[in-house]
Amino acid sequence: MSGRWARGAWAVGAGLALLAGLAWLVGPSSALLLAAGLAAIGGVSWLPGRAVRVVGAALLAGTLFACGRGGLDAGPAAALALGVAALAARLLPVAALRRLAFAIPSLVLLVFVTTLLMYEAPGNPFAQERVASPQVEEALRAQYGVPRSGTAFFAVYMKRLLLDGSLGPAIKVQGRGVVDLLAPAVPISMALGLLALIIAVALGLLLGIRAGLRPQSAADYGSMGLAMLGISLPNFVIGAALMIVFALQLGWLPVAGWGGYAHLWLPAVTLALPYAAYIARLARSGTIEVMQQDFIRTARAKGLPERSVVLKHALKGALLPVVSFLGPAAAGILTGSFVVETLFGIPGMGQWFVKGALNRDYSVVLGTALFYATLITVFNLLVDLAYGWLDPRAVSEP
């Protein structure tokens, strides 16, 4: 008993200390809001199944409504959102709804925290060398919906997002919305990220499994040496080296710039190599471990050819560590693309992320952050699903 009390006291103490720290950083009211948000998200874990169905479906309805408002009037959007949410509440397993109930508030909290941090950074979208008169600045703030306090801006932003499905006007690019700015960049960045992810997984698995099947062989030392290089070299070095060899010396691929999908190969490989190296190391250790298991001997005793022993019985087990790494890897590849996009001069999302941050263009920063966060959330969800398929012992709730 005393142990539990002590732990509880520690938890409360740590929570209060955290709150005090936050209050000092972002102000007491924001700190309270933040703590409440965190508590609400954490609380989802303890919600009973029936409540999860209601909460999850309601959150889904809200999200769908906001998405639908991008192209539809309020009526049809509401009908669509409610219909799909009702179906989801009926059909989806509790585990899936619980993840939704966890993910959607997390995204809202992310917007809130990003807003607070943006407002803490010096300067603002309207600060220029030539100081504008207070009246002019007020008029601009009103026009673009940028109040002076972070929490107020958060309220404006969320209201606009939920009711109109709009990411707001770009403050520094006159007459255009954030969606208009990002729309042409999204497919380019997605293609780059996806290609890089595919290269990383394919190359990493190939090298890693080959090495793991024959540890201490030439193939093993070769691929692990390569992996060490891939992990150690920063991607601006790899990128430059690839440019010199494949674009300048061999002339197979364009050096940089954007003019079609041939321009994607070099940046995708640059982006993929470090992750391919990590995946190779994980796949190697996974393979070595699984090949020592008793069930591999059973598979051989059945008379299975070695190919089936490896591809069927060993592969799923060898994939487990790789799959757990894929969530963070996808996040890393997507955010890592900022550097590579800049290096290769590719007009993807990365430029807006950087420009938005430098210009203090709050709407653009939030738009890109929200986009990437959503992507990473979805990806983690997929990884969870894949994990359940790979390892039936990772039981989920009914």
Measured from the CB atom, the residue of 72 and 315 that comes closer to other proteins is: 315
Under rule CB under 8 A, residue 393 binds other proteins? yes
The residues facing 169 across adjacent strands are 177
| Among 68-76, 144-152, 239-247, 305-313, the segment contacting other proteins (CB under 8 A) | 305-313
Q: CB neighbours of 56 closer than 8 A, spacing ≥ 6? A: 88, 89, 92, 96, 97, 98, 100, 101
Under rule CB under 8 A, residue 355 binds other proteins? no
Under rule CB under 8 A, residue 3 binds other proteins? no
Smallest Cα–Cα separation from 76: which of 156, 165, 158, 160?
A: 165
Minimum gap (Å) between residue 296 Cβ and other proteins: 8
Q: Which of 293, 311, 345, 397 binds other proteins (CB under 8 A)?
A: 293
Tokens, residue 374: 């959503």
Q: CB neighbours of 186 closer than 8 A, spacing ≥ 6? A: 349, 371
Residues 23-42: b if buried by 16+ CB within 10 A, e if exposed: beebbeebbebbbebbeebe
| Among 32-40, 50-58, 293-301, 334-342, the segment contacting other proteins (CB under 8 A) | 293-301
Give the span between the Cα atoms of 47 and 203, in whole angstroms: 42
Smallest Cα–Cα separation from 110: which of 376, 383, 379?
A: 376
Minimum gap (Å) between residue 302 Cβ and other proteins: 4
Q: Which amino acid is at 250?
A: L
Under rule CB under 8 A, residue 298 binds other proteins? yes
Under rule CB under 8 A, residue 299 binds other proteins? yes
Measured from the CB atom, the residue of 213 and 238 that comes closer to other proteins is: 213
3 state DSSP class of 98? helix
Minimum gap (Å) between residue 392 Cβ and other proteins: 5
Size of the site for other proteins (CB under 8 A): 20
Measured from the CB atom, the residue of 141 and 316 that comes closer to other proteins is: 316
Measured from the CB atom, the residue of 317 and 327 that comes closer to other proteins is: 317
Q: Which of 169, 208, 317, 321 binds other proteins (CB under 8 A)?
A: 317
Minimum gap (Å) between residue 305 Cβ and other proteins: 6
Measured from the CB atom, the residue of 23 and 315 that comes closer to other proteins is: 315
Give the span between the Cα atoms of 116 and 110, in whole angstroms: 10
Smallest Cα–Cα separation from 335: which of 238, 219, 214, 192?
A: 192
Burial group, residue 46, by CB count within 10 angstroms (0-12, 13-18, 19+):
exposed
Q: Which of 7, 159, 176, 297 binds other proteins (CB under 8 A)?
A: 297
Q: Which of 111, 226, 300, 332 binds other proteins (CB under 8 A)?
A: 300
Under rule CB under 8 A, residue 316 binds other proteins? yes
Give the span between the Cα atoms of 181 and 351, in whole angstroms: 11
Under rule CB under 8 A, residue 391 binds other proteins? yes
Binding region for other proteins (CB under 8 A): 293-295, 297-305, 308, 313, 316-317, 390-393
